[in-house]
Amino acid sequence: STYETILVEQKGAVTLITLNRPKALNALNSTVLAELIDAFAKFEADKSQGCAVITGSGDKAFAAGADIKEMVDKPGAEFFSEDFFAGWSSQLVKAVRKPWIAAVNGFALGGGCELAMMADFIIASDTAKFGQPEIKLAVAPGMGGSQRLARAVGKAKAMDMCLTGRNMNAEEAERSGLVSRVVPLDQLLDVALKAAADIAAMPPLAALINKEMVNIAFETTLDTGLLMERRMFQILTATEDKKEGMTAFVEKRAGVWQGR
């Protein structure tokens, strides 16, 4: 299907989704959200696809935030009655069980930083800049910028970012644990697509459960998390892919996965 604000391509088992409003620095409006929800639902349903990458078009921005021009004249009561932007968490984060990576190629500000943090991990270009500048607009983050950022980088950095609205560069973001890797801008897409292809080549049930268990670490007590982890491990030992994976290791060959 064709979209107005995003580009979607399949590269083997990897879906590449590109935010495509470069003139507005890929600002996130309601159309972008609706199109991303549709594209992610198709990715999730397509058995040939194992991992997705989301990036921004142009060299300047991943996404410079929610679209301020869409919000400037909108009455407050409407943000509330529409449950404005609730769909990001419920339909992109919770509804997508397959892994996806954010390849941040420039500004990731406000909603852009929040979208990147919804991904399972972030690979950043050396030119990336992360920030939660909402306070300068007399608002506050509305789709994870206080909650996911605090979990990712801890209280000191999260408070600093949200209260001053300053940007973090890629080096600080990596040091703080916000991003998993920093690479030169001209290698970003290749590195992200390679990571995604590697993930897509993994036994698919194990990929789903590995993702789910790391997320559970942020939602539960250590005792409950460890119990769930052990049970998930035990459940995976009952799959055909486990027999194949361990046999392939012993026979010194690559495994061939059935997804069951």
x/- mask, ligand HXC, residues 10-49, rule CB under 6 A, reads --------------xx-x----------------------
Name the active-site residue from 27, 134, 152, 255: 134
Smallest gap from Cβ 163 to ligand HXC, in A, equals 15
- The residue range among 103-111, 155-163, 196-204, 249-257 that interacts with ligand HXC, by the rule CB under 6 A, is 103-111
Give the residue, chosen from 14, 35, 51, 65, that forms a contact with ligand HXC under the rule CB under 6 A: 65
Among residues 142 and 204, whose Cβ is nearest to ligand HXC? 142
Residue 195 CA, distance from chain mean position = 13
Would you call 240 a catalytic residue per the annotation? Answer: no
x/- mask, ligand HXC, residues 135-164, rule CB under 6 A, reads --x---xxx---------------------
Euclidean distance between CA atoms 158 and 113, whole angstroms:
12
Do residues 110 and 65 touch, judged by C-beta distance below 8 A?
A: yes
Q: What are the residues binding ligand HXC (CB under 6 A)?
A: 24-25, 27, 64-69, 84-85, 107, 109-111, 133-134, 137, 141-143
Which are the catalytic amino acids?
66, 111, 114, 134
